[in-house]
Structure 1
Amino acid sequence: MRKKIKKVWHCQKGEGYIDVAVGVLCLMLVVELCMVILPVFMKKQQLDNFASEIVRQAEITGNSNVSGRINELKAQTGLDPQISWDCDYFNGTKVQLNGDIKVTLTQRVDIGFFVFGSFPIDLRARASGKSEVYYK
């Protein structure tokens, strides 16, 4: 009798099914985590491109009043960042030839994982350049 109980106790026929179920559960959690986090990286990339595009526009026009290009990029990307300029101004809003133009964009993004809530994070993108316009 004791041998039968010992034999049944050491039987591991159903253990493989439990290992597979736990493995699949872990795999699904990793896939969900990737689906939550990867869009944040995509938005960061879009924000970086947004910053470099508006700095390039400001370099070409010589001022930080590039609202037309900003509105186009907002429509294309779906982002609505806070924009702060840091420029060496000449006559109000114009930046003299070889003057520094810097921009910082800040966008708040919420990430959440299942029902554990959302976690807001601030994405920040910076770009800089030099004005290519000479004002007399």
Structure 2
Amino acid sequence: MLKRLQEVLHDKRAEGYVDVVVLVLCAVLVLALAMRVLPVFIQKQQLDMFATELVREAEVSGKVGTETNRRAEILQEKTGLAPDISWSESGEIQLNEEVTVTLTLDTEIGLFGEFGSFPITLRSQASGKSEVYWK
């Protein structure tokens, strides 16, 4: 019986199971990290679209004011984002004058909720030229 116990303890066939468990654990951790990081890339894409549509509204209306504020509110409802918006110009923008909008959004990225989480700032900028001639 002692000889049989020594054979079981020295048997190396079970090492594959440990390797599989470690591999599965690593795969789960990579998936968990991807689930926390990929939404940040989606937010960045939405922020870029937000900036592009805001500057397009300024181009078409020829001014930064109520029209762009209204469009920002609509975009905030559609995307669920509430970025800080800053414009290079305000009021009426003459034909072919350039206008730039900069959006900044603070978001959290991390693997385990509050633990291991850190804030990052997403920034998006778009430029365009006014299509309206003001007399």
Task: Give 1:40-59 correspondences, 5 Å limit.
Answer: 40-59=40-59
- How many Å apart are 1:114 and its aligned residue? 1.5
Question: Quick one: distance in 1 between partners of 2:117 and 2:25?
Answer: 22
Alignment coverage as a number of residue pairs: 130
- How many Å apart are 1:64 and its aligned residue? 1.1
1:53-100, CA deviations, whole angstroms, 9 ceiling, x for partnerless residues? 00000000011111111100000000000001003x6xxx10000001
Q: Which residue of 2 aligns with 1:63?
A: 63
The answer on 1:119 being equivalent to 2:118 is yes
Q: Which residue of 2 aligns with 1:129?
A: 128
Amino acid at match of 2:70: G
Question: Quick one: distance in 1 between partners of 2:8 and 2:46?
Answer: 60
SS in structure 2 opposite 1:132?
Answer: coil
Question: Quick one: distance in 2 between partners of 1:26 and 1:118?
Answer: 20
- How many Å apart are 1:7 and its aligned residue? 6.8
Task: Give 1:66-85 correspondences, 5 Å limit.
Answer: 66-85=68-87
Q: TM-score, normalised by structure 1?
A: 0.88
Deviation above 6 Å: which 4+ runs of structure 1?
Answer: 6-9
- How many Å apart are 1:10 and its aligned residue? 5.5
Q: TM-score, normalised by structure 2?
A: 0.89
- How many Å apart are 1:11 and its aligned residue? 2.9
Unaligned residue ranges in structure 2 (runs of 5+) = none
Task: Give 1:11-50 correspondences, 5 Å limit.
Answer: 11-50=11-50
Identity of aligned residues (%): 53
Q: Which residue of 1 aligns with 2:107?
A: 109
